[in-house]
Amino acid sequence: MNFKSIIIILTAFILQGCKEEAKSSVTDSVYAVTSEGEEIHKYTLINIKGMQMEVITMGGAIISLTAPDKEGKYEDVVLGYTTPDLYLNGNPSYFGAIIGRYGNRIAKGKFTLEDVDYQLPVNDGVNHLHGGKGFDQRIWKAEIIAEDEPSLKLSYTSVDREEGYPGNLDVTVIYTITNKNALEISYEATTDKTTIINLTQHSYFNLSGNFKTILDHSLELKADKFLPVDNTLIPTGELRSVTGTPFDFTIAKNIKEDINVHNNQLVIGKGYDHCWIFNDTVKHMKEVAGLYHKDSGRYMTVYTDQPAIQFYSGNFLDGTLKNKKEGNYENRSGLCLETQHYPDSPNQKEFPSVVLRPGEKYKTKTIYEFSVR
Ligand code: BGC
C-alpha cells in the first residue's frame, strides 16, 4: 500500500467518524409526573451540527436550547427552572412556554365579539395576561414528525369557554431545529365559533452562556414605532415614533445604553416591556430583529410574518429563581422577543384584527436563527 492510499483510507475513516457524530435525532423520555398521575414527556431534538433543544409537553415549554459561540462551543441560551415542579405548578415566569389563547394583555379581561360581551379571568392586576390559565399550563400531545431536520408537532384543543374564550380551538405548534441552526416555530389553529387568537413563544434568551445579564447584549429592531402604555401596561392606542427616545433600536444598540434613562414609559414598564410595530407589517416572512452578545460572538436573527414584537427585558426577574448555571436569575438576566399582534387588539378598533372565524385557518411562523459574528 502506498502513501496515497493510506491517506485516502484514513480520510474515509475520519469522514465516517464525523458522519456518525453528526447524526440528527429526536428522543422521547418521561420528564415528570403530575399530581394527577399524568406523565409529562421531554423531547430532545439534535440537528446534524449538534445544536440541541429540549421541549416538555407541559406548556410546550422549551427548557433548553444550545447555540455555538465564535469558538464553536454550544451552550444553553434560554432560561429555565432547575427542577420540574415550577413547570408543573403554574410556570410563574412563563419560561419557554407557548402562550395563548391571547398572548399579552386584554384590558380588564373584557371584549365584545359579534355583539356578545365576554369576561376573561383577570390575572395581572386589573387585566388579563397570556390567556389566564393559558396554553403554558396545558399538557400538549406530541408527535415526532422528522428526525433529519428534527421536528416535533405539539397539539392542543382548547375547549369552548376555556378561560372564557368562545369556540373549540384546535391548535398545533411545530418546532423544528433546522440544519442551519435555526429554531422554526409554526403555529396553526382553527375554531368552530368566532374567537380571538394571538399565539407566541415566551423563551427568555441570554446569549452569554452564563445567564448573568442581558444588559451587555445589543439589539436591533426593524421598527420605527412602538405602543406607549398606560400604567397597567395596556396600549394607549397611540403609535409613537421611536426617534429620539430610548425605544429607538433601529440601529443596533446596547440594551444598557438607555434602559435607565429617565423616561415615563420605562418607569411604567420597569424597563422595556413594550410592543414595537414593524416597518413592514404585511403578512410575509421578513427579518425583524437581531440580538448580539459580543464576548461570545453569538448572534440571533429573528424572522416572522407577524406585525409586531413584545420586547420584555426580564424586569420581573427578582433574583429568587435558581439559575441553571450558577446562583440565581437576577433582574434582567434574560429577555423575551415575542412576535405577535398588538396587545389589547380586541378592544382597539384601529389595531389589526385578531379575529378567527370558523372555516379560516390561523397560520403563522417565527424563526430564531443562530450564527456568530
Ligand atoms: C409581558 C410582561 C410580563 C411577562 C411575564 C411578558 O410577555 O410583557 O409584562 O410580566 O411576560 O413573564
Residue 76 counted as an annotated binding residue: no
Active site residue 330: no
Q: pLDDT: is 119 or 20 the higher one? A: 119
Q: What is the pLDDT of residue 83?
A: 96
Confidence of residue 15 (pLDDT cuts 50, 70, 90): very low
3-state secondary structure the chain: CCHHHHHHHHHHHHHHHHHHHCCCEEEEEEEEECCCCCEEEEEEEECCCCCEEEEECECCCEEEEEEECCCCCEEECECCCCCCHHHHCCCCCCCCCEECCECCEEHHHEEEECCEEEECCCCECCEEECCCCCHHHCECEEEEEECCCCEEEEEEEECCCHHHCCCCEEEEEEEEECCCCEEEEEEEEEECCCEECECEECCCECCCCCCCCCCCEEEEECCCEEECECCCCCECCCCEECCCCCCCCCCCEEHHHHHCCCCHHHHHHCCCEEEEECCCCCCCCEEEEEEEECCCCEEEEEEECCCEEEEECCCCCCCCCECCCCCECCCCCCEEEEEECCCCHHHCCCCCCCEECCCCCEEEEEEEEEEEC
Active site residue 202: yes
Atom of ligand 1 nearest to the CA of 103: 7
Atom of ligand 1 nearest to the CA of 200: 7
Residue 291 near residue 219 (C-beta atoms within 8 A): yes
The sign of the CA dihedral 343, 345, 348, 352 is positive
User: φ, ψ for residue 223 (rounded to 5)?
Assistant: -145, 120
The topology (CATH level 3) of 25-372 is: Beta-galactosidase; Chain A, domain 5 (2.70.98)
- The 10s digit of each residue's pLDDT in 246-305 is 999 999 999 999 999 999 999 999 999 999 999 999 999 999 999 999 999 999 999 999
Mean pLDDT value across residues 151-174: 98
User: Quick one: which of 279, 292, 221, 281 has its CA closest to 250?
Assistant: 221
Ligand 1 geometric centre to CA of 102 (Å): 13
Mean pLDDT value across residues 358-370: 98
Compute the half-sphere exposure of residue 188: CA atoms within 13 Å on the CB side of its CA. 10
Please report, for residues 178, 218, 258, 324, 354, the alpha-carbon distance to residue 274 in angstroms, rounded to integers and kept in the order given: 30, 17, 14, 27, 18
For residue 336, pLDDT beyond 70: yes
- Strand order through the sheet with 62-68: 25-33, 39-46, 52-56, 62-68, 74-76
pTM: 0.94
Q: What is the pLDDT of residue 74?
A: 98
Location of C-alpha cell 420597569: 270
Catalytic residue among 162, 338, 341, 369: 338
Ligand 1 geometric centre to CA of 198 (Å): 14
Q: Is 191 in the pocket of ligand 1 (CB under 6 A)?
A: no
Which residue CA neighbors atom 10 of ligand 1 most closely? 316
Distance CA 303, CA 28 (A): 29
Enumerate the domain spans of the chain: 25-372
Residue 218 near residue 294 (C-beta atoms within 8 A): yes
Q: Is 93 in the pocket of ligand 1 (CB under 6 A)?
A: yes
Confidence of residue 14 (pLDDT cuts 50, 70, 90): very low
Q: What is the pLDDT of residue 22?
A: 74
Q: Is 13 in the pocket of ligand 1 (CB under 6 A)?
A: no
User: Quick one: which of 196, 191, 197, 195 has its CA closest to 358?
Assistant: 191
Q: Is 102 in the pocket of ligand 1 (CB under 6 A)?
A: no
